[in-house]
């Protein structure tokens, strides 16, 4: 199942390259066999038939590949994927790590959060349209104390974006803007440790509004994606869906900020047990291993 999931989320470039390379290899083997069989006579029926079969094989592989790409285009479970941001090591101020880094993970209060946005480029004109969070305390998800707000982005929400999270212009028309919502979220977080899946992506959006709101999120941050890379090193797929399936977490409300926050929180609690079994029990240890995993992942990121 993990291998199938890895293929489903593989980049189009790599998927196409692998498919055509496989077809070319199969074709070369077939043609080489036909060449030997015909004694080097390219007019021999066997050689001609092999060439035809090779062309047919390429056509079949291309047809199947096209079906997969069309499925991905219309399947919001896998497209578009959020880009991984390789800035985790910059998220945790050294002074904070020194102050509370020795705290035992299961004794720490966390706020696991997620954002939904108009797009994938915080450095451009994309905006937050929903933000939610849930607390984890004593190794337990406190679902009774959630934070969840829609946000008026000050711009139109594209149909492509709505296809992912289901949020429309009408749904946010009467909602407050980020200048009002972000201070409320900041108060909810307090001095808790922030947790998110692909955390640097969401943190980049929070940082986008620093000048507008005069708010800085200088909390310590953990990333479930990087923790999974360390704790589940044998797995190739560290998407939220794949992690939830492996860890027995049911995702309700996928691609909603609150639904993803709760699912990520439940995954995080299970990761704490895996981390403990590998000797990672303190906040400082979790941050250090995350930084190392980010460095390794960046080195091997997709070309």
Delimit the domains of the chain by residue range.
2-73, 89-299
- Report pLDDT for 254: 86
Q: Quick one: what percent of the chain has pLDDT higher than 90?
A: 58
Q: Which fold has domain 89-299?
A: Nucleotidyltransferase; domain 5 (3.30.420)
Strands 128-137 and 140-150: antiparallel
Question: And the tokens for 296?
Answer: 């390794």
Tens digit of each residue's pLDDT (9 = 90 or more) over 63-114: 776 666 665 544 444 435 566 655 666 677 666 677 777 899 999 999 999 9
Catalytic (active site) residue 255: yes
Q: Alpha helix (H) ranges present in the chain?
A: 2-8, 12-37, 45-73, 94-100, 159-165, 169-172, 178-189, 199-208, 210-213, 224-231, 240-247, 257-277, 283-299
Confirm if 244 and 263 have CB atoms less than 8 A apart.
yes
- Containing 303, the helix (H) or strand (E) segment is none
Identify the active-site residue in 152, 165, 238, 255.
Answer: 255
- Report pLDDT for 150: 98
Q: For residue 25, give every residue at least 6 positions away whose Cβ sits within 8 Å of its Cβ, in sequence order, or none.
A: none
- Report pLDDT for 225: 94
What phi and psi, each to the nearest 5 degrees, are found at residue 123?
Answer: -75, -10
Number of residues in the chain: 303
């Amino acid at each position: 199942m993990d291998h199938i999931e890895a293929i489903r989320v593989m980049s189009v470039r790599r998927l196409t390259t692998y498919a055509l390379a496989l077809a070319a290899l199969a074709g070369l083997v077939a043609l080489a066999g036909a060449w030997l069989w015909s004694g080097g006579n390219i007019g021999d029926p066997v050689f001609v038939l092999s060439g035809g079969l090779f062309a047919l094989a390429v056509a079949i592989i291309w047809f199947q590949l096209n079906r997969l790409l069309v499925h991905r285009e219309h399947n919001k479970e896998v497209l578009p994927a959020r880009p991984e941001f390789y800035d985790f090591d910059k998220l945790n101020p050294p002074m904070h790590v020194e102050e509370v880094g020795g705290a035992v993970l299961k004794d720490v209060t966390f706020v696991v959060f997620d954002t939904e946005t108009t797009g994938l480029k915080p450095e451009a004109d994309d905006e937050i349209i929903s933000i939610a969070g849930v607390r984890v305390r004593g190794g337990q998800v406190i679902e009774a104390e959630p934070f969840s707000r829609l946000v008026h982005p000050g711009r139109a929400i594209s149909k492509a974006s709505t296809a992912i999270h289901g949020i429309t212009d009408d749904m946010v028309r009467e909602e407050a803007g980020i200048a009002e919502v972000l201070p409320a979220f900041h108060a909810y977080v307090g001095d808790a440790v922030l947790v998110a899946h692909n955390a640097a992506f969401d943190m980049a959006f929070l940082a986008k509004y620093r000048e507008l709101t005069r708010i800085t999120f200088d909390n310590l941050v953990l990333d479930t994606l990087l923790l999974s890379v360390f704790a589940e090193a044998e797995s190739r797929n560290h998407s939220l869906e794949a992690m939830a399936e492996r860890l027995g977490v049911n995702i309700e409300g996928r691609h909603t900020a609150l639904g993803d926050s709760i699912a990520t929180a439940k995954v995080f609690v299970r990761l704490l047990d895996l981390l403990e079994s590998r000797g990672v029990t303190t906040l400082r240890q979790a941050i250090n291993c995350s930084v190392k995993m980010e460095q390794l992942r960046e080195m091997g990121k997709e070309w």
